[in-house]
Chain A
Amino acid sequence: MSTAATQFTSLLPNDVLARAEKMRLNPLRRRTNRMRGEHLSGKGGTSIEFSDYREYVPGDDMRYVDWNIFSRLNHPYLKLYAHEEEMHVAILLDSSSSMEFEGKFELARRVAAALGVMGLMNVERVSVFKCGSTSGELPYLRPCTGRASLKKFFRFLEQTTPGGSVSIDESVDQVLKVHSGKGIAIVLSDFLTLGDVARSFNLLFGAGLEVYALQILGPTEISPELAGYLRFVDSETNATLDVSSVGELLGMYHQHRLGLENYLASQCRKRNGRFLSVSSEDPLKSLLFDQMLRQGWIR
């Protein structure tokens, strides 16, 4: 029996999958729906997990009076329980052509799978949007929850292929047309766009989604080793750019790359979000269980 046949999905090794199932996403604020879910709310609610007592006031539901205390103190107290609410997890997977380079899309898809598993196994409502491929209606996986949705979730990701020329900021507009519900928006992209991501992040934040941005860059994008006189061709638009003495400009390139990284980080921070920039060559395990864990993306 081959290794592939024994795996639940080709996206994640079994050990990573098993470990991801035991973890959960860690939003900074609890932007949840009123609908009951498994996500614990700070507010009092209906669950089996005790929260606090308070004095009975007229109008309270008599079912929540703690009769044991009443019998001892002869005074009615209400027993309060922690409120468990469900959270939306919208995964925006950049599938534009720029993600085809150096395994960026592959890593994005696997990270999406891992984070999605964490959401599904904790009864969050997980939806996946394939961004960047088309400017029309986005292909997406409708919100689903629970272990039963795993198969459907994995199948959607496995069938997703890169290709397209729509930038991530344009795609966010499309996402918000079909998405409803609060929670977190996990944006997996290289963010190499001429557009303004700040507007997109604003829209997501306005829609009640914390922005979790993961920038995935290829090794040659992080540290290009180029020299001489080159003509760059954009993979998405086929536009060309002539650059002379490229070696001379590498320093400036790095300044701009780090500038973009800092810009994205600050934009996320402003919206109570998180940002992480990784290389497409980074091992998945290290990324998930080391970097993301340490930076509080997951717990």
Chain B
Amino acid sequence: MSWLTQWIPTFFAPKYAWLFLLAIPVIIFYFLKLRRTRIAISSLALWQQVINDQRVNAPFQKFKRNMLLFLQLLLLSLLALAAMQPFWRGDSERLTYLPILIDCSASMGAVDAEGTSRLDVAKGEIQSIIDGLLPDQKLTLIAMGSTARRLTEFTDNKTLLTDALKRLEVEQVPSKLTDGLRLAQALSRTQSIETVRLYSDGNLPTRPNPATGELMAEVDFDLPFTLDFFQIDLPGNNIGITALNARRSSPERWDIFIRIEGTASASTEAELVLTSNGEPVGEERVILNAGESQRLVFSVDARTDQALQASLKPVGLDALAADDSAWLNLPKGREIDVYCPTNMKAFRHALESLPGVLVYPRADAVEPANEYDLVISDNKDDIARETPLSIFIGVLPDDLASLISIQDEPAEVVDWERDAQILQHVQLKEVIISEMPVKNEGISDVSIEDLGYSILAHGTQGPLIVSQRVGIGKRYFLLFHTDRSTLPYRVGFPVFIANAINEAMQFASLSDIRAPSTGVLPAQVMNEPGTYRVTTPEGRHEERSTDADGVLKGISAPEVGEYQIRKSGDLVAKIGVSLLNPTESRLETVDTITFNELSVEAEQQTVQQDAPLWTWFAAAGFIVLLFEWWYFQRRPVGVPE
């Protein structure tokens, strides 16, 4: 009989059943009020015949005679039932506090052939939950875009929830499931949260499962609650730009690399147009088999500033429009200006042997037009020079002077960060150093790191090489002087210098440049400190101020397109931001999310929510009221005009 009980509604507020007692006064008042109006008529003859006829022909005479009472009792019953708040019990467990995580990443904006996006489908399902919200249930909506944010507090206010849901839009960023789960975890500390619902397409970063080889989405998170994963997986083909970067092949030319990827569901086709400063510089037709990608190479002039835009014109259905455009600003190519004192002959010699490098001070005493791209010095006073990258040889920074002392003892390199850009392919193992930086007593590496330094090379008793970030720039400190070591005579020395030049070129955007992707705008070094107005591609404005170093940073960029930075109305910079995310463009989804201790599979079917019925009863009551009014106001049947 479970099927029967399933169809019997449950009442949320059965206490209001006492309203049925109002039927007693209704009946009493009905009969008390039923005082017939006396009307004198000429003869009862006709009316008597009518009554006799009615008695014969109308079997429900008593019912019809007391139709008004019946309607009143029916109306009262419907109102009482509405007040008792009946509802159909759904499949899902009844929860008091329910956080709903909504994936708003770029892939949720993928549309099907009818133009319905995945987010639209998710919104529809969440709206049905909101509509079926019972009075003791509270929801909070959490959007997961570039970061997780709560759209509403825990509330049962349907208007509030619906408005927040309507305002929710796709952010052109990769999804960050962990942020949303952490936020839900934080909420679970103040509210009793047993279950969290996740509405996502399952487009998450994946890696092959070591056991099966299948792709799996692994999330480093310990679930403190049950996660119900509702997958929104609309079919759709997509082709998009997943990478755009440039490398300077010569001082006059940039090589442009563009990667196009398509979905694994079907083959895709598109036409790529590359423009520079609005003028087309390349065009290519791309046809990809299912799951394939293709890298395209173009070459553009490096002698002038180039504002590149790659536009993809897909043939047929393209589910995601956000990945069809990408932007990249290339600066005018030039030599690297390096300052290196004349007394550092080994460094100058190594630098001058590299192409595209101008070493200062020069014999002709010419100074560079702008600041130096790289400063290599053994003079502590040169720390004050403004440069994005500097390398100080045998210089102990003032803030480290209290932590480290230099002793005249031989030192050797114990270990070093081989991944550090400046030390890539640099062998330090057998370098002989005749002075040794020693950590003072009670000083640990943490103390050094607390001052903002990273230790790149460790000696026996202290750090040998440290780095420090300064604004968007970087400083390296070799705490020993190379003149008192065998480093200049090692093979690693020119490699060290080449690494420094490469990094300086990167800082100056003169070597490898990647197109910025959505999330946060790349930091911008502004000529004038102050407040700037940032206009997003959607036309929204944001006022941001530079920091102490004159850098404008931390500007949210959730939309694909060109952001304009203005100062007093004058355009200062225009930065194009692209999606450039293979996971989002491929629209690949997983139906299982692997957490640290368990895996969560996507629900196979939509959970039937509790369906409140009071609105139906209230509507029926209103209809009965209208019927009652019509019944007693209508023109009698059979009366000739």
Q: Which residues of A come within 8 Å of B, CB atoms?
A: 97-101, 104, 190, 192-194, 218, 221, 223, 226-237, 239-245, 247-257, 260
Residues in A whose Cβ lies below 8 Å from that of B39: 226, 230-233
Question: Which of B66, B632, B639 interacts with A250 by CB under 8 Å?
Answer: B639
Query: Which residue in chain B gives the minimum CB-CB distance to A220?
Result: B41
How far in angstroms is the closest Cβ of chain B from A25?
28
Residues in B whose Cβ lies below 8 Å from that of A104: 42
How far in angstroms is the closest Cβ of chain B from A229?
5
Is there contact, CB below 8 Å, between A256 and B38? no
Is there contact, CB below 8 Å, between B34 and A249? no
Contacts known (A243-B47, A245-B65); A234 close to B41, Cβ less than 8 A:
yes
Question: Which of B34, B46, B636, B638 interacts with A229 by CB under 8 Å?
Answer: B34
Is there contact, CB below 8 Å, between B46 and A260? yes
Contacts known (A241-B47, A253-B47); A235 close to B41, Cβ less than 8 A:
yes
Is there contact, CB below 8 Å, between A192 and B46? yes
Q: Does B25 contact A (CB under 8 A)?
A: no
Which has the most chain A C-beta neighbours within 10 Å: B51, B64, B67? Answer: B51
Question: Which of A218, A223, A253 interacts with B46 by CB under 8 Å?
Answer: A253
Total B residues in contact with A, Cβ cutoff 8 Å: 30
In the assembled complex, the Cα of A247 lies from the Cα of B638 at a distance in Å of 11
Contacts known (A227-B632, A230-B36); A252 close to B42, Cβ less than 8 A:
no
Question: Which of A99, A253, A256, A260 interacts with B42 by CB under 8 Å?
Answer: A99
Residues in A whose Cβ lies below 8 Å from that of B186: none
Question: Which of A98, A190, A232, A247 interacts with B632 by CB under 8 Å?
Answer: A247
Query: Which residue in chain A gives the minimum CB-CB distance to B40?
Result: A233
Residues in A whose Cβ lies below 8 Å from that of B53: 252, 256
Is there contact, CB below 8 Å, between B46 and A248? no
Residues in A whose Cβ lies below 8 Å from that of B636: 247-251
Q: Does B50 contact A (CB under 8 A)?
A: yes
How far in angstroms is the closest Cβ of chain B from A17?
29
Is there contact, CB below 8 Å, between B638 and A254? yes
Q: Does B54 contact A (CB under 8 A)?
A: yes
Residues in A whose Cβ lies below 8 Å from that of B34: 229
Known pairs A232-B40, A241-B47, A255-B638 / 19 extra A-B pairs, C-beta < 8 Å: A98-B43, A192-B42, A194-B45, A194-B48, A223-B640, A230-B38, A230-B39, A231-B36, A231-B39, A232-B41, A235-B40, A236-B42, A242-B36, A249-B54, A249-B636, A251-B637, A256-B46, A256-B50, A256-B53
Residues in B whose Cβ lies below 8 Å from that of A251: 636-639
Chain B residues numbered 192-247 whose CB sits less than 8 Å from any CB in chain A = none
Residues in A whose Cβ lies below 8 Å from that of B64: 244-245, 248
Is there contact, CB below 8 Å, between B640 and A256? no
Residues in B whose Cβ lies below 8 Å from that of A228: 37, 632
How far in angstroms is the closest Cβ of chain B from A250?
4
In the assembled complex, the Cα of A229 lies from the Cα of B36 at a distance in Å of 5
Query: Which residue in chain B gives the minimum CB-CB distance to A223?
Result: B639
Query: Which residue in chain A gives the minimum CB-CB distance to B57?
Result: A252
Is there contact, CB below 8 Å, between B38 and A233? yes
Is there contact, CB below 8 Å, between B37 and A239? no
Query: Which residue in chain A gives the minimum CB-CB distance to B636?
Result: A250
Chain B residues numbered 9-57 whose CB sits less than 8 Å from any CB in chain A = 34, 36-51, 53-54
Interface of A (DSSP majority class)? mixed
Which has the most chain B C-beta neighbours within 10 Å: A97, A223, A230? Answer: A230
Is there contact, CB below 8 Å, between A101 and B42? yes
Residues in A whose Cβ lies below 8 Å from that of B50: 243, 249, 252-253, 256
In the assembled complex, the Cα of A104 lies from the Cα of B41 at a distance in Å of 13
How far in angstroms is the closest Cβ of chain A from B393?
110
In the assembled complex, the Cα of A218 lies from the Cα of B65 at a distance in Å of 28
In the assembled complex, the Cα of A58 lies from the Cα of B45 at a distance in Å of 64
In the assembled complex, the Cα of A253 lies from the Cα of B54 at a distance in Å of 10
Residues in A whose Cβ lies below 8 Å from that of B637: 251
In the assembled complex, the Cα of A253 lies from the Cα of B47 at a distance in Å of 7
Question: Which of A239, A244, A250 interacts with B44 by CB under 8 Å?
Answer: A239
Q: 8 interchain pairs (CB within 8 A)?
A: A98-B42, A100-B42, A194-B48, A231-B38, A236-B43, A244-B65, A252-B50, A253-B46
Which 3 residue pairs of A and B lie closest in terms of their CB atoms, listed nearest first?
Answer: A251-B638, A192-B43, A250-B636
In the assembled complex, the Cα of A100 lies from the Cα of B40 at a distance in Å of 12
How far in angstroms is the closest Cβ of chain B from A235?
5
In the assembled complex, the Cα of A221 lies from the Cα of B49 at a distance in Å of 14
In the assembled complex, the Cα of A254 lies from the Cα of B638 at a distance in Å of 7
In the assembled complex, the Cα of A23 lies from the Cα of B636 at a distance in Å of 43
In the assembled complex, the Cα of A181 lies from the Cα of B438 at a distance in Å of 159
Query: Which residue in chain B gives the minimum CB-CB distance to A260?
Result: B46
Is there contact, CB below 8 Å, between A234 and B43? yes
In the assembled complex, the Cα of A256 lies from the Cα of B37 at a distance in Å of 23
Is there contact, CB below 8 Å, between A190 and B43? yes
Is there contact, CB below 8 Å, between A230 and B37? yes
Is there contact, CB below 8 Å, between B41 and A233? yes
In the assembled complex, the Cα of A97 lies from the Cα of B64 at a distance in Å of 33
Interface mask (B605-641 → A, CB under 8 Å = 1, otherwise 0) = 0000000000000000000000000001010111110
How far in angstroms is the closest Cβ of chain B from A252?
5
Query: Which residue in chain A gives the minimum CB-CB distance to B52?
Result: A256
In the assembled complex, the Cα of A234 lies from the Cα of B44 at a distance in Å of 6
How far in angstroms is the closest Cβ of chain A from B552?
80
Contacts known (A223-B639, A245-B67, A250-B636); A232 close to B47, Cβ less than 8 A:
yes
In the assembled complex, the Cα of A279 lies from the Cα of B34 at a distance in Å of 33
Residues in B whose Cβ lies below 8 Å from that of A250: 636, 638-639
Query: Which residue in chain B gives the minimum CB-CB distance to A217?
Result: B42
In the assembled complex, the Cα of A103 lies from the Cα of B245 at a distance in Å of 106
Residues in A whose Cβ lies below 8 Å from that of B43: 98, 190, 192-193, 234-236
Question: Which of B37, B45, B51, B632 interacts with A192 by CB under 8 Å?
Answer: B45
In the assembled complex, the Cα of A96 lies from the Cα of B431 at a distance in Å of 143
How far in angstroms is the closest Cβ of chain A from B348?
114
In the assembled complex, the Cα of A70 lies from the Cα of B637 at a distance in Å of 77
Residues in A whose Cβ lies below 8 Å from that of B37: 228-231
How far in angstroms is the closest Cβ of chain B from A5?
34
Residues in B whose Cβ lies below 8 Å from that of A231: 36-39
Residues in B whose Cβ lies below 8 Å from that of A234: 41, 43-44
In the assembled complex, the Cα of A127 lies from the Cα of B338 at a distance in Å of 146
Query: Which residue in chain A gives the minimum CB-CB distance to B38?
Result: A231
Query: Which residue in chain B gives the minimum CB-CB distance to A244?
Result: B65
Residues in A whose Cβ lies below 8 Å from that of B67: 245
Query: Which residue in chain B gives the minimum CB-CB distance to A241?
Result: B44
In the assembled complex, the Cα of A241 lies from the Cα of B47 at a distance in Å of 8
In the assembled complex, the Cα of A242 lies from the Cα of B66 at a distance in Å of 13
In the assembled complex, the Cα of A243 lies from the Cα of B61 at a distance in Å of 12
In the assembled complex, the Cα of A233 lies from the Cα of B47 at a distance in Å of 11
Residues in A whose Cβ lies below 8 Å from that of B44: 194, 232, 234, 237, 239, 241
Is there contact, CB below 8 Å, between B42 and A221? yes
Which has the most chain A C-beta neighbours within 10 Å: B39, B54, B636? Answer: B636
